[in-house]
Amino acid sequence: MRISLHLNGVPHAGDAEPRTSLADFIRERGLTGTKVGCEQGACGACTVQVDGEPVRACLMLAVQADGTSVRTVEGLAAGGEELHPLQRTFHEEHALQCGFCTAGILMTLDAFLRDTPDPTGEQIREALSGNLCRCTGYEGMVRAVAKSRRPNV
């Protein structure tokens, strides 16, 4: 099937087999920040935003994304920004190690912070509950999210 969508603000069109996942469609376009982990929607590594909402790209078919706007971790920093504030504070707070889960976590948290601009630590932990990280634990992530909201902390 021929599909078209906006990928990080850029129009993309291409052929997709009906069974091709959105994650595979994105990665075939050279955007490899979206990782495929469990392929069952349980780990959250493949999380992207479709029309502003976080979705598991391993569970969504590319044909379902036809006509939508998809944002990946490569599109997180706006304009000429080197890093998004979340990316910067994740680095500063050592909230990542291997990095495999990081893109999905950042895409989840970016949408969460849009809806919850001044979250408590408990709200941040709840937002992270659908994303698995096997390296760091989550304390650095909680600190990074809090710091990204208050950059002078």
Q: Please write the tens of the pLDDT for every residue from 30-51.
A: 999 999 999 999 999 999 999 9
φ/ψ of residue 94, rounded to 5: 55, 45
Is a pLDDT exceeding 90 seen at residue 151? Answer: no
Model confidence at 81, in pLDDT bands (50, 70, 90)?
confident
Q: Maximum distance among all alpha carbons in the chain?
A: 50
Q: Which CATH entry fits the domain spanning 85-149: 3.40.50.620, 1.20.5.440, 1.10.150.120, 3.30.10.20?
A: 1.10.150.120
**CATH code linked to domain 2-75:** 3.10.20.30
For 109, the token pair is 């948290």
Q: Residue 36's pLDDT is what? A: 95
Could you tell me how far CA 14 lies from the centroid of its own chain?
A: 22
Q: Which long-range contacts (CB under 8 A, 24 or more apart) does 33-36 make?
A: 33/72, 33/73, 33/74, 33/103, 34/72, 34/73, 34/103, 34/104, 35/100, 35/101, 35/103, 35/104
Is a pLDDT exceeding 70 seen at residue 150? Answer: no
136, exposed or middle or buried, with CB in 10 Å at 0-12, 13-18, 19+?
Answer: middle
Q: What percent of the chain has pLDDT above 70?
A: 97
Average the pLDDT over 58-73 and give the result.
98
